[in-house]
Structure 1
């Protein structure tokens, strides 16, 4: 009993770091929690008397679990791409709790999240564990089943891809503007909305959004602000095809996507997308609750 309590205390002390590793690897709160919980289950079932470096042991376990999850995710996405029915529902990945929002904004960075998604699972694990958490290549090699030299090459290739990626939108700036706009809308701060909108801002809605009740076209900051003031309660900030926007959804099914065009720090246009076929084509990752 005392040994179980000792392990539980030790595990809880290391949980924040393990959670950070899993978040960086997976980009999903639920999956990260599952990975950390799996590490606890394996720790509880293992003989730990001979483990000299519990932190390293747990990091290795979480790394292996995350690698398996990334590989399974890739296989699942490939299968869905090959067998998807045209009538299938669009899917959003929910990463919405406050801790995850902080990890994305402060630790990973929104732009880095997008770049990491371009790496294959082995590259991602080698790069993240070594460059972010200073895990030795020999330890990473044991996780991915390669030699330390090959693992070093994987991390180096991933590093070049990350550093050489084409310039991404300033996602932090976008996030700040969209968050301020939605907050002002919910609070009914009309003047604040006007300050965030370009004078000639427009809002366009597709045919499905119009049938739901949106106006086909609204022109001018005052018109757009009038529509949003006191509303947007259900809108949640999300990455929409790699740019910051918002989504209104029922459970995990998106109903309307809000695409924002931001120029010189102000919102120049808002496009409402509600057509099912178009929604299925979008990559939506919910960021904020």
Structure 2
């Protein structure tokens, strides 16, 4: 029986790997739990390198999950966005100048949705977590040469498709704060337009369960109009629009009294300091892991 304490040393790493491969908090939780069960069944000392063994194990589980989920996502109603990771905002200080972790951003995870399960797994393991190709080959049941090719294909696609964004956390926060002030301060159209890139895009994921745009909305003018509707629907007596970190960068959480009035907004901010993308998750099934009342 393998040691639980040793597994716990790697739990956060395993969840980070699983979330980036699946884009789902619930699937990542399940994968880590399954990895624990397999680890627990091992004889103590079987794995010479526990971190490598567990990384390979959880990656294989996630690869299988992603393969089975692919058809469901292709039939999904409206844009498919990852389940959001919401954490307490980082305090002001030196970290404000730190770069954002693009590997966990909503924009990056959305781009990775267009990769095959094998490409995505190879890319995440090699380019994000620096796992050697022979270890990845073991997770995917492929040769190291094939895995190298998969990672290369994925890298090119991600490079061509991912949006350009700012790297300064403070700059990202300023853009989100300006958007928040414009929405809560009366839905001022000029103020909204001042912080939106001309090519800004709004994507909303309701999964067909709540009201949400079923196609992306392009252009600053149209995105500003959608944001104005958010203002008109916002009731300060019963609803809250809170600043939280969403997938590693400043974002917003909408908390209302009923389903459909709860959601998470993730922002992509370009090098010019303007918002280039707003991704809104309102699908209640993708928000089940969040305790809105505790926020």
* TM-score, structure 1 normalization: 0.60
Residues 162-217 of structure 1 deviation map (CA, whole Å, 9 limit, x = unaligned)? 1222x62648899746742575489x6x4997994348x9xxxxxx99xxxxxxxx
Q: State the alpha-carbon separation in 1 of the partners of residues 243 and 17 from structure 2.
A: 25
Which residue of 1 is the match for residue 36 of structure 2?
40
Larger radius of gyration: 1
Q: Cα–Cα, structure 1 residues 28 and 55, in superposed 2: closer, same or farther, change >3 Å?
A: same
Q: 2:57 aligned with 1:61, yes or no?
A: yes
C-alpha RMSD of matched pairs (Å): 5.3
CA distance in 1, matches of 2:264, 2:19: 25
Aligned length: 238
Matches within 5 A, 1:36-185: 36-78=32-74, 80=75, 94-98=83-87, 106-108=101-103, 109-165=105-161, 168=163, 170=165, 176=173, 179-180=176-177, 184=181
Describe the SS at the equivalent of 2:28: helix
For the residue of structure 2 that corresponds to 1:122, the secondary structure is helix
* 1:102-160 per-position Cα deviation (integer Å, ceiling 9, x unaligned): xxx63523332222111110001111101111111111111111111111111111111
Structure 2 distance, partners of 1:119, 1:182, is: 32
Q: Secondary structure at the match of 1:197?
A: helix
The gaps in structure 2 that reach 5 residues or longer are 91-99, 197-210, 213-223
1:215-234 aligned at under 5 Å gives the runs 230=236, 233=240
Distance in 2 of aligned mates of 1:224 and 1:266: 19
Residue deviations 1:73-101 (CA, integer Å, cap 9, x gap): 103234x46xx8xxxx99875424328x9
Q: Contact 2:18 / 2:58 at 8 angstroms: preserved in 1? A: yes
Q: Name the TM-score, length of structure 2 as normaliser.
A: 0.59
1:197 aligns with 2:192: yes
* Counterpart contact for 2:81–2:106, Cα < 8 Å: no
Shift of 1:47: 2.5
Contact kept in structure 2, 1:184 and 1:193, CA below 8 Å: no
**Is the CA contact 2:87–2:244 (under 8 Å) kept in the aligned structure 1?**
no
Structure 1 position 50, deviation (Å): 2.4
**Matched residue SS, 2:101:** helix
Return closer, same or farther for 1:252/1:90 CA change in 2, 3 Å cut-off: farther
Deviates more, 1:173-182 or 1:136-145: 173-182
The answer (yes or no) to whether the contact 1:30–1:95 under 8 Å persists in 2 is no
Q: 1:50 to 1:28 in 2, by over 3 A?
A: same
Aligned equivalents of 2:84, 2:9: Cα separation in 1:
24
Q: 1:153 to 1:75 in 2, by over 3 A?
A: same
